[in-house]
Amino acid sequence: MTSPNVTLVVVPRERFSYTQASLESLYANTQVPFQLVYVDGGSPRAVRQYLAQQSEARGFKLLRSECYLAPNQARNLGLSQVTTDYVVFIDNDVHVAPGWLDALLDCAEQTQAAVVCPLTCIGKPLHQTVHLAGGEARIVLEVKGEKLRRKVHEKHYLVNRSVADVRSQLGRQQCEFAEFHCMLVRRQIFKTIGLLDENLLNTREHIDFCLTVAEADGTIYCEPEAVVTYVAEPIYRWSDISFFMLRWSDDWERSSLKYFREKWQLTKKDKYFQKRYCRLGHRRHQAFVKPMLRKLTLGRPGVSRFRRR
């Protein structure tokens, strides 16, 4: 068998309950040889035992932390074990489609890209609704009088569109950012830019990474022949709640936004940041509070109109 030149680094995103389905999809739908490093950041007992059994049976490296990890902490931990030419960062709630890794590797080899992202879909049915098909992310300079302002420009391509409806618009293209749901990275780039920034605890870490890659003259591509789905589901399991609440805590988000703004010397009153400060707690409300209220009240009218004040 050909020696693998790619290592998959799987990390917890916001919950543990999709662990088995995600891992099984990797082995069922990946044809090219790969190594796998699985970072288990504080999963509950049943998941911990499952991963230990799978690690022994399938021969992948399992790194266990008894405490929860911020995403870039987990990715750097996994990256420390990688010796192959390429690394794929992939979250533990992602379901991959057949041929996904072949397509990412082909794109990287043919374009010499530093980063390649797949067509990332969201939700169920799998692989039918676009979450991200590449996008734009750059720092723009705005001059007003004698003041020079640095702002973030960010744009997602084809978000929330039906894959069937936009298929004719999908083609390999160079873009400016990828997301950590799933991205292939040429390991050599880390010798230039260093490790992922662990000061970013829960947001903007993908934008920070892609801006840093661009500064180092690395290119980023989206390859829609590779398809994966981020399976976003309501948080109902008690074993997921504590990690989810920390992962999307206001403290982590405020800290990350402040650090990102200061690191890139961005204008404090930019609408980009004001919008995100206004949406603090939005993920907790959408994925846990709102579904739980609907479940507890058996979906009675009025609950769907509840809004966080």
Cα(168)–Cα(163) distance, rounded to whole angstroms? 9
The answer to whether 18 and 49 are in contact (CB under 8 A) is no
Q: Three-class SS string for 59-91?
A: CCEEEEECCCCCHHHHHHHHHCCCCCCEEEEEE
Residue 182 has pLDDT above 90, yes or no: yes
Cα(239)–Cα(17) distance, rounded to whole angstroms? 8
The answer to whether 239 and 17 are in contact (CB under 8 A) is yes
What was the pLDDT predicted at 146? 79
Residue 309: pLDDT band with limits 50, 70, 90: very low
Torsion angles phi and psi, residue 157, rounded to 5: -90, 130
**How far from the centroid of its chain's Cα atoms is residue 121's Cα?**
12
Q: What is the share, in percent, of the chain residues with pLDDT greater than 70?
A: 92
**How far from the centroid of its chain's Cα atoms is residue 281's Cα?**
19
Cα(160)–Cα(179) distance, rounded to whole angstroms? 15
Q: List, for residues 75-90, the tens digit of each pLDDT value.
A: 999 999 999 999 999 9
The structural domains of the chain, ordered by start, are 6-230 (3.90.550.10), 238-305 (no CATH)
Q: Is the dihedral of CA 218, 219, 220, 226 positive or negative?
A: negative
Lowest mean pLDDT among 20-29, 119-128, 146-155, 224-233: 146-155
Q: List, for residues 291-306, the tens digit of each pLDDT value.
A: 666 666 666 655 444 3
**To the nearest 10°, the Cα dihedral for 114, 220, 201, 128?**
-120
Residue 71: pLDDT band with limits 50, 70, 90: very high
Q: List, for residues 231-240, the tens digit of each pLDDT value.
A: 998 888 888 9
- For the record, the structure tokens of 247 come out as 């992962």
Please tell me the pTM assigned to this model. 0.92
